[in-house]
A and B are shown apart, each in its own frame.
Chain A
Amino acid sequence: MNRIARINLTTGEVKSEVVAPHLREAFLGGRGLNIYFLYTMTDANTDQLGPENVLVIGPGLLTGTLAVSAGRTNISAKSPETGYLGDGNMGGHFGTELRRAGFDHLIFTGRSPRPVYLWVHDGDVELRDATHLAALDTFDTQDRIKEELRDAAIQIACIGPAGRNLVRMASVVHGYGGDAVGRTGMGAAMGTKNLWAVAARGTGTLPVADMPTLRDAFDRHYRQVTETKGFQATATYGTLIRLNNTRMMGLEGGHNYQTNMVDSGEELDADVFVQRYEIGKKACFNCPVHCKHVWEIREGRLAGTRGIGMEYFGAGGWGSQCGAAHWETILEAFTLCNRYGLDVSSSSGYTAWLMELYQRGIVTKEQTGGLALEWGDSAAVTGLLHQMATGEGLGKLLAQGWQAAAAAIGGDAARYMQHVKGLSMEPDDVRGHKAKLLGMVTATRGADHLRSRYTIEEFYLPAEHIAKVLGRPVPPDPDSYEGKAWATFWTENLCAAADALGICKFVTKWLSPGLLGFAEMAESASAVTGMSISPQQLSESGERMYNLERLFLVRLGLGRGDDRVPDRLREPWPRGPRRGTHIEEEKFQRMLGEYYDIHGWDQNGVPRRETLARLGLDRLIALPPEVV
């Protein structure tokens, strides 16, 4: 434990080393150490598809321990999809197994001359031939490796056809549908290295400095989590609770954001899904939420199809954004994405974009390989997924990312893709919640709700109540710009800290104010490590990571102009109870400026030298010339 394996895929050489204590203290683990390695081992000229890109797999500092819902793992690289920061976080049991096998981080450099997978087991690291996996999807790849190594308990993170074909929005899949690193194309980052899977099995015990304190903390945190309404709703509906909420509140990105309410009738409803399809639930390591649905289609063309997981992004992405408001289409698309190893969010986002291009006559049947990309057409949804993964029809263009596809399509194609920093928008429409909007446009990996979405904004809680959680009052009005810069900053730090520790955000104040915060997470981190980590220090660790991620972007030339609201979101909401809600540019820019001030960044969004010194980053990394 506490070891890093550096794997040079070009030479096959593997080196093992201990995580330096000062780096552990500064960045904790998971996403924190990942960005440190990524920043220091790449530069502005690194080709995201070249052997010089670096891929880091890092479970959180608490992953695999008794800390509540600590089972998560980050995978990071320069993004093949955006060309900027690539990073994603997944649950399941992979991180726990990797740590039990003796490693906290795997750093891949170079490119293997032939397809390989990495086998990590009880302190050993072995590269094995993977050419026999060439025709398999992600589910079959995992089955084959388990058979080959004769152990069904092996945990695997792998790519499928999309990753092998270097499709820019390829995901890394773990398990059979519920867990994946989806966004920013980490599957293509593995594919370009000829690294097709990582398999882990360990029998070691993770060291805990103070088990009685950790056990006591677990008991209290478990009760705290399970007694909240937010927990119970998520335990019942998983992320599909969000589907109903977005539909009810008029936050439903529909038809590529042309509307905020889609007429989906009674079908697109979380209860309908649960009652019609759910046959069980599945949990990640040590998590009481068990949010993943186990489902079965009992009737019709797909009768007998079973799967794990069914998330809001699939339901909102294909159901609302593409108008395919029928569960069986959504379940089929979700399963195809997981088997092919395609990101659900980008795949549905690209599909909605292409459907709008088809609606406007910018894309025609001749270009789509005969597919009529009509809103709501099931064959169009699944047909495009086949094309994306295999390179047929439009797939060859889409594999290179939406920017390349837009350039090839021509006309106004690029104008209709709604994105931030090259990453397509998620189905949740944020224009009526100004903190959520700010979090989305400033998120370090592009359009993203998992970096800094201030979910509490939807609860209309009194400002004095919020002050007890955030340390400052924030008005309950979602349309107000006041206090939202602080709320975003606070949420960023919370999310970064949770990711570095490996704790799922579903049990944190990111989801609901009654859940775990800095104090509870610091308590568990102190008990596990033996370090005395205060809530303030944990928040500062999150801030340090966020600043380093921001520097990664600054080094690539990004600044204030890239923290921009996508064009469609600049239009007023056309429907619903909050029809007409819009973004006032002057107020938005003032909020953005305040956000930079709170961070200690200049008005172009570049961290100031004194800020980086306060966070100790000037001693840990080489600062780019943009920092003054």
Chain B
Amino acid sequence: MGGSEIQIRCKTCTARFPVNVTERLAQCPHCGQGWKLKWFGGDQPMIIAPASWREYQQRTVERWG
């Protein structure tokens, strides 16, 4: 990656934030949502699910009804 930062886009607030290679969980610094990551090809991260669906749904209800 030439030393450049790897970023992903939060599925909730759509802001981008950096993640460390091989990290399996990450938390969006903008909205606080935790995500489960899957790494493809060693350095291509993808958000695959919330860290916990129940917590995600609970947060969603609290924030947006």
Residues of A within 8 A of B (CB): 227, 229, 232-233, 236, 244-245, 247-250, 261, 263-266, 268-271, 460, 575-577, 579
> What residues of chain A lie closer than 8 Å to B56, measured between beta carbons?
248
* Bound-complex Cα distance A249 to B56 (A): 11
Are the CB atoms of A271 and B40 closer together than 8 Å?
Answer: no
Q: Does B65 contact A (CB under 8 A)?
A: yes
- CB contact under 8 A between A579 and B64, given known A233-B38, A249-B11, A266-B52: yes
In the assembly, what is the distance between CA of A264 and CA of B49, in Å? 13
> In angstroms, how far is the closest chain B Cβ from the Cβ of A223?
12
Residues of B within 8 A of A269 (CB): 49, 53
Whether B20 sits at the interface, judged by CB under 8 Å, is no
Contact between A247 and B53, CB atoms less than 8 A apart: yes
Q: Is the CB of A229 within 8 A of B40?
A: yes
B54 with A577: CB separation less than 8 A: no
CA distance A263 to B55 in the complex (A): 11
Task: For B9, give its contact among A264, A270, A460 (CB under 8 Å).
Answer: A460
**Option from A236, A248, A265, A266 in Cβ contact (under 8 Å) with B47:** A248
* Bound Cα distance A270, B57 (Å): 17
Flag if B49 contacts A244 (CB, 8 Å): yes
Of A244, A250, A265, which is within 8 A of B54 by CB?
A265
Which of B49, B60, B61 has the most chain A CB within a 10 Å cutoff? B49
Q: Is the interface of A mostly helix, strand, loop or mixed?
A: loop
A-side contacts of B40, CB under 8 Å: 229, 232-233, 236
Chain B binding surface SS class: mixed
Q: Which residues of A contact B22 (CB under 8 A)?
A: none
Over the window 27-44 of chain B, the binary record of Cβ atoms lying under 8 Å from chain A Cβ atoms (1 yes, 0 no) is: 000000000101011001
Q: How far is the CB of B58 from chain A (nearest CB, A)?
A: 9
Q: Residue B44 contacts which of A229, A245, A577 (CB distance < 8 angstroms)?
A: A229
Write the residues of chain B forming the contact surface with A, with a CB cutoff of 8 angstroms.
Answer: 9, 11-14, 36, 38, 40-41, 44, 46-50, 52-54, 56-57, 60-61, 63-65
Query: Which residues on the A side are within 8 Å of B9 (C-beta)?
Result: 460
In the complex, chain B residues whose CB is within 8 Å of the CB of A248 = 11-12, 47, 49-50, 56
Query: A460–B14 contact, CB under 8 A?
Result: yes
Cross-chain pairs A/B with CB under 8 angstroms, 22 sampled: A229-B40, A229-B41, A233-B40, A244-B48, A248-B11, A248-B47, A248-B49, A249-B11, A250-B60, A264-B53, A265-B54, A269-B49, A269-B53, A271-B36, A271-B48, A271-B49, A575-B65, A577-B13, A577-B60, A577-B64, A579-B64, A579-B65
CB distance from A290 to the nearest CB of B (A): 15
Q: Which of A233, A266, A575 contacts B53 (CB 8 A)?
A: A266
- Minimum CB–CB distance from A476 to chain B (whole Å) comes to 9
Once the chains are docked, how many angstroms separate the CA of A268 from the CA of B56?
A: 13
Docked pose: A460 CA to B9 CA in angstroms: 9
In the complex formed, the residue of B with least CB distance to A573 is: B64
Task: Please state if A575 and B64 are interface contacts (CB–CB under 8 Å).
Answer: yes
What's the nearest-Cβ distance from chain A to residue B54, in Å? 6
The distance in angstroms between the C-alpha atoms of A422 and B14, with both chains bound, is: 35
Q: How far is the CB of A610 from chain B (nearest CB, A)?
A: 42
Residues of the B chain whose Cβ atoms lie less than 8 Å from the Cβ of A236: 38, 40
Tell me the smallest distance from the CB of B8 to a CB of chain A, in Å. 11
How distant is the Cα of A264 from the Cα of B65 in the complex, in angstroms? 17
Cβ B64 vs Cβ A229 within 8 A = no
* Contact indicator A233/B54 (Cβ below 8 Å): no
Interchain CB contact under 8 A, A575 and B60: yes
Taking CB atoms, residues of chain A closer than 8 Å to B57 are 261, 263, 265
* CB pair A229 B48 closer than 8 Å: no
In the complex formed, the residue of A with least CB distance to B36 is: A271
Beyond the given A227-B41, A236-B38, A244-B48, please list 12 additional residue pairs across the A-B interface where CB-CB is below 8 A: A229-B41, A233-B38, A233-B46, A248-B50, A266-B53, A269-B49, A271-B48, A271-B49, A575-B60, A575-B61, A575-B64, A576-B60
C-alpha gap A348/B61 in the complex (Å): 27
Given contacts A244-B49, A269-B49, contact A576 B41 (CB under 8 A): no
Query: Which of B41, B53, B57, B63 is the most central at the interface, judged by chain A CB atoms within 10 Å of its CB?
Result: B53
List, in ascending order, chain B residues with CB within 8 A of A266's CB.
Answer: 52-54
Residues of A close to B12: CB separation below 8 A: 248, 577
- Which residues does chain A contribute within 8 Å of B38, judged by CB atoms? 233, 236
Chain B CB within 10 A, most for which of A236, A244, A270: A244
Specify which chain B residues have a CB less than 8 angstroms from the CB of A460 in the assembled complex: 9, 14
CA distance A248 to B47 in the complex (A): 9
Which residue on chain B has the smallest CB distance to residue A267? B53
**Smallest CB-CB separation from A227: which chain B residue?**
B41
Nearest-CB residue, chain B, relative to A264: B53
> Max chain A CB contacts within 10 Å: which of B11, B52, B63?
B11
